[in-house]
Structure 1
Amino acid sequence: MKHYSKEFKEAIVKKWLESGLSLRTFSAQENINLSTLSSWRDKFQLPGSSVTKSSSPDNWSPEAKFSIVLETAMMSEIELSEYCREKGLYPDQVKQWKQSCINNNMT
């Protein structure tokens, strides 16, 4: 069983927060067990921790938002709702980002 330092765990959680990816996708990408990553997220997103939820969707980069739009493009309403619950998003946010992408492409 691998043991990771507190600093490593915090860095991974921060990297996940900044990535804009779902926890499941990020855990597969980083080759870290989903339940392990989930427990790190819960531990290091507590108030007073050096890693916080300050990376709200409103502060995400345009690239991260576009990634979400691409990732959800072919999802049904039900799948989108489930995805958004997992990511802490609202379906309307994703729809707004999608519309923004369309509008920016037309100009």
Structure 2
Amino acid sequence: MTTNRHSIEFQEQALSKVRQRGTRSVQDVANDLNMPVGTLRKWISKSNQKHKVGGPAAQLPDDLPAQSWGPAQRLLALNQTHAMSETQLHAWCREKGLFEHQLKAWGEAFCSATAPESREAKTALRELQVKHDGLQRELRRKERALAEAAALLVLQKKFQALWEDEEK
């Protein structure tokens, strides 16, 4: 069995095609490139491990769109841009394919994730839980009453049918 050695440029091009494939499957991309799908999947796996959150290399990926960056990469981007002037920030965003509002949203997300819940929010949540439990109890009670009424109606009809049969 012979193994084909592909250049790094070809591997990067193949990975780029996979990431920009839209609704096509990896199998279709592999067929277009005339290569085994297993090889392509192995390259994808290695690439994902290289750009994995908390990976050994704390670098921003050039080949991944910003929407697919992990939390560690987003935090790194926030750290890199924190002390930049507005013109430097705009240049950096253009270079990385980002928008300034994305960085602001990421910063707000990091800040809100660690913010403790307020006492009012906890109280409101508890009140809603109590109200929910009460409504559930009331619903179960009404369902039992409805089932009992339906059973009584059926019995009443059977009783009337029985008396009508005896009268004839």
Runs of 4+ in 1 over 4 A off after TM superposition: none
Aligned length: 66
Report the equivalent of 1:104. Answer: 113
What are structure 1's unaligned runs of at least 5 residues?
Answer: 12-43
> Deviation at 1:51?
2.5
Work out whether 1:74 is the aligned partner of 2:83.
yes
CA distance in 1, matches of 2:68, 2:75: 13
CA distance in 1, matches of 2:115, 2:80: 21
Per residue, is there more helix in 1 or in 2?
2
Report the equivalent of 1:6. Answer: 7
> Deviation at 1:105?
2.3
What CA deviation, in whole Å up to 9, does each residue of 1:30-70 have, x standing for no partner? xxxxxxxxxxxxxx4xxxx2131832111111111111011
Query: Cα RMSD (Å) of the superposition?
Result: 2.1
AA matched with 2:65: S
What are structure 2's unaligned runs of at least 5 residues?
Answer: 1-5, 20-63, 117-168
Give the TM-score normalised by structure 1. 0.53
CA distance in 2, matches of 1:105, 1:78: 30
Identity level (%): 26
Matches within 5 A, 1:1-107: 6-7=7-8, 9=9, 44=12, 49-52=13-16, 54=19, 55-107=64-116
- Match of 2:15, SS state, is coil
Per chain length, whose mean CA-contact separation is higher, i.e. which structure has more relative contact order (CA < 8 Å, sep 6+)? 1
What CA deviation, in whole Å up to 9, does each residue of 1:46-97 have, x standing for no partner? xxx2131832111111111111011111112211111000001111111111
